[in-house]
Copies of this chain bind each other. A is one copy, B any other.
Amino acid sequence: MAKTPQGARLAGAKAPSYVRAVNEVEARSSGYTARYMLTSDVAYVLTAAEMNLTPAESAKALLEALLALIDELDSIDTQTPAGDIVAQREAWMRERVGAQHAAWLHLGRNRGESLRAYLPRLYFRHVLYEQRRTVAGMLRVLVEKAGPVLEAVAPNYHHLQHSGFGTLGEYLLSWVPVFLPHLERLEQVEQRLDYGPSVIGARKEVHALYDKVSARLGFSRRAWLRRDGIWVHSQFTEPFFALSLVAVDIARMAQDMRIWMTPEFGFFVPADEHSGGSSALPHAKVPFGFQAVIGGAILAANRLAGEMSAAAGGPSEGSEPIYHSGSLYEAAADIVARTRYMAEVIEHGRFDLEELKRKSTTDYAGSSEAHDRLVYDYGVPFRTGHRLLGAMARAHYLGEEQIDLKQALLEETGRDIDVDQDEIMDIVLGLRLWPTTFDFDRLKALWTEFGNEVAAAEKKLAQPGPVERTLEALLAEARAWLAEQGGA
Distance A318 CA – B312 CA, assembled complex (angstroms)? 14
Q: Enumerate chain B residues within 8 angstroms of A407, measured Cβ to Cβ.
A: 1
- Integer count of this chain's copies in the complex: 4
**Is A383 interfacial (CB 8 A cutoff)?**
yes
Q: Does A148 sit within 8 A of B, measured CB to CB?
A: no
Q: A10-B272, A178-B227 are known contacts. Are A319 and B302 too (CB-CB below 8 A)? A: no
Instruction: Name the CB-closest residue of B to A366.
Output: B283
The residue in chain B whose Cβ has the minimal distance to the Cβ of A370 is B282
* CB–CB A21/B338 < 8 A: yes
Chain B residue contacts of A305, Cβ below 8 A: 301-302, 304-305, 309
A299–B301 Cα distance when bound, in Å, is 12
Is A35 located at the chain interface by the 8 A CB criterion?
Answer: no
A233 adjacent to chain B (CB < 8 Å): yes
Return chain B residues, CB-CB under 8 Å to A173: 225
A298 & B309 in contact (Cβ 8 Å cutoff)? yes
B-facing residues in A80-110 (Cβ within 8 Å):
86, 90, 99-100, 102-110
Is B341 touching A160 in the complex (CB atoms < 8 A)?
no
Q: A25-B292, A293-B21, A318-B291 are in contact. Are A446 and B9 (CB under 8 A)?
A: no
The yes or no answer to A337 lying at the interface (CB within 8 A) is yes
Q: B-facing mask of A374-395, CB < 8 A → 1, else 0?
A: 0110000111111111110111
- State the interface size on chain A (CB cutoff 8 A): 195
Does B273 lie within 8 Å of A317, measured CB to CB?
no
A158–B364 touching, CB < 8 Å: no
Give complex CA distance A214, B471 in Å: 48
Majority DSSP secondary structure for residues of A touching B: helix
The stretch that binds B, out of A12-20, A124-132, A457-465, A476-484, is: A12-20
Contact indicator B1/A403 (Cβ below 8 Å): yes
CB of A211 within 8 Å of the partner chain: no
**A237: interface (CB < 8 Å):** yes
A277-B7, A303-B306, A305-B305 known; A17 vs B286 contact (CB < 8 Å)? no
A244/B308 in contact, CB under 8 A: yes
Q: List 19 A-B contacts (CB under 8 A).
A: A2-B395, A4-B388, A8-B283, A8-B387, A8-B391, A9-B397, A15-B341, A22-B341, A158-B284, A159-B286, A161-B263, A163-B280, A164-B281, A175-B316, A264-B362, A298-B312, A298-B313, A304-B304, A312-B313
List 7 additional contacts besides A1-B407, A185-B238, A295-B320; criterion CB under 8 Å.
Answer: A9-B277, A9-B285, A12-B273, A111-B279, A160-B258, A283-B363, A302-B306
8 smallest CB-CB distances across A and B, nearest first, come from A8-B390, A313-B313, A110-B280, A295-B320, A174-B227, A103-B381, A302-B306, A283-B393
